[in-house]
Amino acid sequence: MACATNAISLSLSSNPNSKLSSDFIPKLNKPVNVSLRASTSAELNPGRLFLSRPIGLSRRNCANATPVMDQSVGERSSSVPTIVEVDLGNRSYPIYIGSGLLDQHELLQKHVHGKKVLVVTNTTIAPLYLDKVVDALTKGNPNVSVENVILPDGEKYKNMETLMKVFDKAIESRLDRRCTFVALGGGVIGDMCGFAAAAFLRGVNFIQIPTTVMAQVDSSVGGKTGINHPLGKNLIGAFYQPQCVLIDTDTLNTLPNRELASGLAEVIKYGLIRDAEFFEWQEKNMEKLMARDPDAFAYAIKRSCENKAEVVSLDEKESGLRATLNLGHTFGHAIETGFGYGEWLHGEAVAAGTVMAVDMSYRLGWIDSSIVKRVTDILQRAKLPTAPPKTMTVEMFKSVMAVDKKVADGLLRLILLKGPLGNCVFTGEYDRKALDDTLSAFCKS
């Protein structure tokens, strides 16, 4: 993509006819299919929206993105999922969102093409949902056999040694190229299972069943898979799309408060980089999200998936536009790597990293102080950190950031806010002093 190493700007102009009331929470009662079709042009452009039924959407003009808003209101039902389509041509797939979806066995079974399934999960999730998933895969379907591999839980296990346990089980079970891997868990499980599926027999089908907010709103969508290396996070992996993503919002009922808050960092991100109205909705409904209001969460997950799906449809392999989804991640990954994988949750590190990216944007004169305050306020309300650990030093940040995936030709490119809320740039063209000043302001020399 011609503009990959240059500044990529995302702008969002609000539609005055689509404002959200302070207590507005859409209730999802009918299947909603959102097809996000990518442009074939080499330039970044909004693409086109195709909706299967009118749902009160108004198209908003953006430089590179057209977020989708469903403002329909009705009685919520657990029997019919909301569907967001990730449009990637012949590799397109649906994201099912709803309550009680693990009880609807047909949703999973229609995406299993062979007779053998391997469920990859961890020691925390297996006792809670493994039996339910096995039942969903086999109910009324006796020709399918299901194996499982239960991995240790935690970011520190997202490595080659743990990944080999998945391959060991797949080979011992004599799985063939028509088998299906199922990722049951949070982002770590989804990333490792997806990478294993991409590599096993040079590629087999896989399904994502995310059970954390982080995975449901971000990591399960878009086909990024991989493992960590001691020198950097997610440096080894592949882009590999699932057959479907099944988000049963009931799994959030067993999610610890800290994990729930961690996932909200990614929800907040979407509003900051490309969806100002969604951010405003979050400001008005954060307490409902923290209280696990089911309608609020159903809407937040759906809106986040719509934003992620469109970006992926336009830029699947992160040539430029997709990199904007990493607001705060360059600083955040440095925290995770420098402080130790698993010491802070991913969303906690991203939250602190977001504050640092916003601080740098302000030092560059690209945003005003009101945005800085709003970002800090909403993260604090979400019980997320707004500064890195005190043990992080400037040199620790710089050494890890030097091997970040967004470095090109020795130049560190960052996602920074620029202009009104809902706008960002992905660029290496910034005053290095602003970066140094931000690092110095947040950590020891």
Distance CA 278, CA 265 (A): 13
Query: What pLDDT score does 441 carry?
Result: 96
Q: 133: which 2 tokens? A: 């998933």
Is residue 181 a part of any domain in this protein?
yes
Q: Which of 169, 322, 406, 418 is catalytic?
A: 322
| Residue 317 and residue 223 share a domain | no
| Residue 264 and residue 283 share a domain | yes
Q: Nearest to residue 192, comparing CAs of 211, 213, 220?
A: 220
Q: Which residues of the chain have pLDDT under 50?
A: 1-78
Convert the pLDDT of each residue in 356-395 to its tens digit.
999 999 999 999 999 999 999 999 999 999 999 999 999 9
**Distances in Å between the alpha carbon of 199 and those of 178, 203, 225?**
14, 5, 11
If you count them, how many residues does the chain have? 445
Contact indicator for 195, 237 with CB cutoff of 8 Å:
yes
Contact indicator for 219, 187 with CB cutoff of 8 Å:
yes
Q: Which of 105, 274, 333, 363 is catalytic?
A: 333
Distance CA 125, CA 377 (A): 32
Give me the number of domains the chain comprises.
Answer: 2
| Residue 95 and residue 107 share a domain | yes
Has this prediction a pTM greater than 0.85? no
Residue at which a domain ends, from 255, 272, 295: 255
| Residue 432 and residue 287 share a domain | yes
| Residue 147 and residue 248 share a domain | yes
Structural domain for 437, as ranges: 16-33+257-445
Task: Please indicate whether residue 318 is annotated as part of the active site.
Answer: yes
| Residue 264 and residue 201 share a domain | no
Distance CA 305, CA 85 (A): 9
| Residue 238 and residue 249 share a domain | yes
HSE-up of 19 (CA within 13 Å, CB side)? 4
CATH number at residue 99: 3.40.50.1970
Q: 218: which 2 tokens? A: 């971000």
| Residue 211 and residue 119 share a domain | yes
Please report, as a single letter, which amino acid is at residue 258.
R
Contacts of 239 (CB under 8 A, 6+ apart): 223, 224, 225, 316, 317, 318
Query: Apex CA 330: angle with CA 324 and CA 331, to 5°?
Result: 130
Q: Which of 306, 310, 316, 318 is catalytic?
A: 318
Give the residues across from 444 on adjacent strands. Answer: 393
Residue at which a domain ends, from 255, 289, 312: 255
Is residue 110 a part of any domain in this protein?
yes
Task: Please indicate whether residue 174 is annotated as part of the active site.
Answer: no
Give the residues across from 245 on adjacent strands. Answer: 95, 208
Is residue 358 a part of any domain in this protein?
yes
| Residue 184 and residue 128 share a domain | yes
Task: Please indicate whether residue 205 is annotated as part of the active site.
Answer: no
Task: Please indicate whether residue 111 is annotated as part of the active site.
Answer: no
Distance CA 291, CA 311 (A): 29
| Residue 333 and residue 356 share a domain | yes
Is residue 213 a part of any domain in this protein?
yes
Q: Which of 116, 169, 224, 274 is catalytic?
A: 224
Query: What pLDDT score does 410 carry?
Result: 77
Residue at which a domain ends, from 255, 280, 307: 255
Distance CA 407, CA 409 (A): 7
Task: Give the distance, in angstroms, between the CA of residue 225 and the centroid of all CA atoms in the same chain.
Answer: 12
| Residue 306 and residue 251 share a domain | no
Q: 181: which 2 tokens? A: 């891997």
Is residue 44 a part of any domain in this protein?
no
Q: Which of 266, 277, 336, 348 is catalytic?
A: 266
Query: What pLDDT score does 251 carry?
Result: 96
Is residue 428 a part of any domain in this protein?
yes
Q: Which of 174, 202, 390, 432 is catalytic?
A: 202
Task: Please indicate whether residue 329 is annotated as part of the active site.
Answer: yes
Query: Could you tell me the end-to-end alpha-carbon distance of the chain, in angstroms, rounded to an integer?
Result: 37
Query: What pLDDT score does 445 carry?
Result: 67
| Residue 295 and residue 246 share a domain | no
Distance CA 80, CA 85 (A): 15
Is residue 146 a part of any domain in this protein?
yes
CATH number at residue 345: 1.20.1090.10
Task: Please indicate whether residue 306 is annotated as part of the active site.
Answer: no
Contact indicator for 94, 85 with CB cutoff of 8 Å:
yes
Is residue 116 a part of any domain in this protein?
yes
Task: Please indicate whether residue 233 is annotated as part of the active site.
Answer: no
Convert the pLDDT of each residue in 185-240 to its tens digit.
999 999 999 999 999 999 999 999 999 999 999 999 989 999 999 888 888 999 99
Q: Which of 105, 116, 288, 346 is catalytic?
A: 346
Q: HEC states along the chain? A: CCCCCCCEEECECCCHHHCCCCCCCCCCCCCCEEEEECCCCCCCCCCEEEECCCCCCCCCCECCCCCCCCCCCCCCCCCCCEEEEECCHHHCEEEEEECCHHHCHHHHHCCCCCCEEEEEEECCCHHHHHHHHHHHHHCCCCCCEEEEEEECCCHHHCCHHHHHHHHHHHHHCCCCCCCEEEEEECHHHHHHHHHHHHHHHHCCEEEEEECCHHHHHHHCCCCEEEEEECCEEEEEEEECCCCEEEEEHHHHHHCCHHHHHHHHHHHHHHHHHHCHHHHHHHHHHHHHHHCCCHHHHHHHHHHHHHHHHHHHHHCCCCCCHHHHHHCCHHHHHHHHHHHCECCECHHHHHHHHHHHHHHHHHHCCCCCHHHHHHHHHHHHHCCCCCCCCCCCEHHHHHHHHCCCCCEECCEECEEEECCCCCCEEEECCCCHHHHHHHHHHHCEC
